[in-house]
Amino acid sequence: MLIVGAWQWPQYEAAFSAGLQENGVQIEKFELGPSFSGLAGKYQRTVPIPGPIMLRINQQLVDQVFSSRPDVVLFWRPTHIFPSSVSKISNWGIKTVSYNNDDPFGPQVHKLAPWHHQLLWYWYFKCLPRFDQNFFYRPVNCKEALQLGVKHAEVLLPYFLPWQDRTVELTEEERARFETDVVFVGHYEADGRVESIQALLQAGVRVRLWGGEYWSKQKFGDLFDQLQPINPAQGEDYAKALSGAKICLAFLSKLNRDTYTRRCFEIPACGRVMLSERTNDLMQLFKEDEEACFFSSSEELVEKVKWLLMNPVICEKIAVAGQQRVWADGHDVTSRAKKFLESLSGSQKY
């Protein structure tokens, strides 16, 4: 299998590639990332207007496929691939498959995404009907893709990485850095998550926040000092940040119309209680207050946190049961890759 993608973030192409290899698949890479170097490359990555960079990418891809003749070409979030390239590859009898972890239809629906997202997905939409199979992160995208006349649309859920998302025994120095009652590790979005964190702080709950620069004093006002310092938690620090908390929050991106997220599998895999916004999908994946906990308002969030903190035995039981659930249901990357391979051979439609 040849995987075409940016190959920049370890949880995406590289991790899924490892899961496929565990299932006996030989992997070949086609990296788009190096093509977007310099100012021109940065602009071309953001706005895929046909030019020398895109022409070169597509020609190199076609040449590599013609030379190596893989059984399958998996296009990971293909925003810079021409429909003609997909057609050429298909005409050689090679199966073409797409996967998108983003919400490409979202910008057209809610109009809240940055302006360039309206252009980012232009070529992706042109290619979708030409792929033999298409996989999506969320069910709503399958329904939307079918309206474009795709041959196949199927959900491929996110996954956790066993080598990263695991219970970590913290050293004394690490406990001083990571221990807290409640933690959230993730990005800022104007979707109510700030108000939820503020409610916890005002209730006297110890909260740690790990993320980027968009978490600012402007967002939290006088409560901001209680959250300092706010830094990214990546690699090994991600599992440590989760393992250092009694309760781990999971907020769901409204821009991406998420009803679950990768974090919903990573937190239980680390052996911690997940406290997430309540959705029907998550309630089908986990038994409420037995394998995970949910909330639908800031008030319920505070109540649920206080209940868990006052009942450490219950808290531990939920954490253990949640960890068992994500393993039993095959939410690790190797099991997810196996399901993907089964779908390739079965071609089940959404």
What pLDDT shows up at residue 322? 98
pLDDT-above-90 percentage for the chain = 83
What pLDDT shows up at residue 49? 86
- Give the C-alpha separation, 133 to 344, whole Å: 8
What pLDDT shows up at residue 166? 96
Specify the higher pLDDT residue, 219 or 333: 333
Ordered by where they begin, the domains of the chain are 2-157+332-346 (3.40.50.2000), 172-328 (3.40.50.2000)
What pLDDT shows up at residue 179? 97
The band of 45, judged by pLDDT with boundaries at 50, 70 and 90, is: confident
Mean pLDDT within 287-302: 98
Tokens representing 332?
């690790």
pLDDT-above-70 percentage for the chain = 99
> Do the Cβ atoms of 119 and 161 come closer than 8 Å?
no
Give residue-wise pLDDT tens across range 310-336: 999 999 999 999 999 999 999 999 999
Question: Among 17-31, 33-47, 192-206, 259-273, which stretch is predicted with the lowest mean pLDDT?
Answer: 33-47
Question: Among 64-68, 128-132, 206-210, 216-220, which stretch is predicted with the lowest mean pLDDT?
Answer: 216-220
Mean pLDDT within 298-314: 98
Tokens representing 126?
């042109």
What pLDDT shows up at residue 349? 42
Handedness of CA 330, 336, 340, 342 (dihedral sign): negative
| Sheet architecture: strand order including 245-250 | 207-210, 180-185, 245-250, 273-277, 293-295
What pLDDT shows up at residue 211? 94
Residue 340 has pLDDT above 60, yes or no: yes
Tokens representing 312?
């450490």
Q: What is the mean pLDDT of the chain?
A: 94
- Give the C-alpha separation, 337 to 154, whole Å: 14
Mean pLDDT within 44-67: 93
Give residue-wise pLDDT tens across range 140-158: 999 999 998 898 999 999 9
Q: Given the structure tokens 């309630």, which residue do they identify?
A: 283
What pLDDT shows up at residue 348? 43
Residue 33 has pLDDT above 90, yes or no: no
The total of other beta-carbon atoms located within 10 Å of residue 74's CB is: 28
Residue 55 has pLDDT above 50, yes or no: yes
Write 186-191 long-range contacts (CB < 8 A, 24+).
Answer: 186/210, 186/211, 186/251, 186/263, 187/211, 187/212, 187/214, 188/212, 188/214, 188/215, 188/219, 189/251, 189/253, 189/254, 189/255, 191/251, 191/252, 191/253, 191/254, 191/255
> Which residues touch 308 (CB under 8 Å, ≥6 apart)?
246, 247, 273, 275, 293, 314, 315, 318
- Give the C-alpha separation, 309 to 266, whole Å: 21
> Which residues touch 155 (CB under 8 Å, ≥6 apart)?
135, 136, 137, 138, 139, 142, 350
- Give the C-alpha separation, 100 to 88, whole Å: 21
Residue 195 has pLDDT above 70, yes or no: yes
Specify the higher pLDDT residue, 123 or 35: 123
> Which residues touch 124 (CB under 8 Å, ≥6 apart)?
77, 78, 79, 81, 98, 100, 104
Give residue-wise pLDDT tens across range 89-117: 999 999 999 999 999 999 888 777 777 77
> Do the Cβ atoms of 267 and 164 come closer than 8 Å?
no
Mean pLDDT within 215-240: 92
Give residue-wise pLDDT tens across range 231-262: 999 999 999 999 999 999 999 999 899 999 99
Q: Given the structure tokens 């970590």, which residue do they identify?
A: 168
